Amino acid sequence: IQMTQSPSSLSASIGDRVTITCRASQDIGIALAWYQQKPGKAPGLLISTASNLHSGVPSRFSGSGSGTDFTLTITSLQSEDFATYHCQQAKSFPWTFGQGTKVEIK
C-alpha cells in the first residue's frame, strides 16, 4: 500500500491552523497512525486508528478520515510543533509510511 502525503513541506506562523493530508493507494479503513519527528530525534506517536490522540499529546492535534483520505490538523501552531510529520498505514503488511511533511517557521 502506497502512502502519499501533501504537501511535502509548508511554512506557517505561530497560531496558524495547519492541515496535512495523507492518501492511501487502497482502502485502509481507519488503520492509520501519525508521528511527529523533530530534527535529530526519533519519531513519536501522535495519533493511532486515524483519530485517537496518544497519551500526552496536546489537544490542538487532531486526526480524521477513513478509507483512503486522512488529515492531521494542528489548530493553533506552537513553536514546539515545528517538525516533520509522518503517516503510516497499519492495515496490512508491510506497513508503509508517507514521505513526510516538514512544517517550517514562516
Partner 1 sequence: QVQLVESGGGVVQPGRSLRLSCVASGFTFSDYGMKWVRQAPGKGLEFVAVIAFDGSLKYYGDSVEGRFTISRDNSKNTLYLQMNNLSGEDTAIYYCTKERLPRASPDCDSWGQGVLVSVSS
Chain contacts with partner 1 (rule: CB under 8 A): 31, 33, 35, 41-45, 48, 54, 86, 88, 90-91, 93-100
Cell of 102: 516538514
Closer CB to partner 1, 6 or 99, in the complex: 99
Contact 28, 91 (CB under 8 A): yes
Cell of 99: 514521505
Least Å from the CB of residue 3 to partner 1: 9
From residue 38, give the alpha-carbon distance in Å to each of 41, 43, 85, 96, 103: 5, 7, 9, 20, 10
Least Å from the CB of residue 80 to partner 1: 18
Closer CB to partner 1, 16 or 54, in the complex: 54
Closer CB to partner 1, 42 or 80, in the complex: 42
Least Å from the CB of residue 24 to partner 1: 13
**What is the spatial distance between Cα 82 and Cα 46, in angstroms, rounded to a whole number?**
14
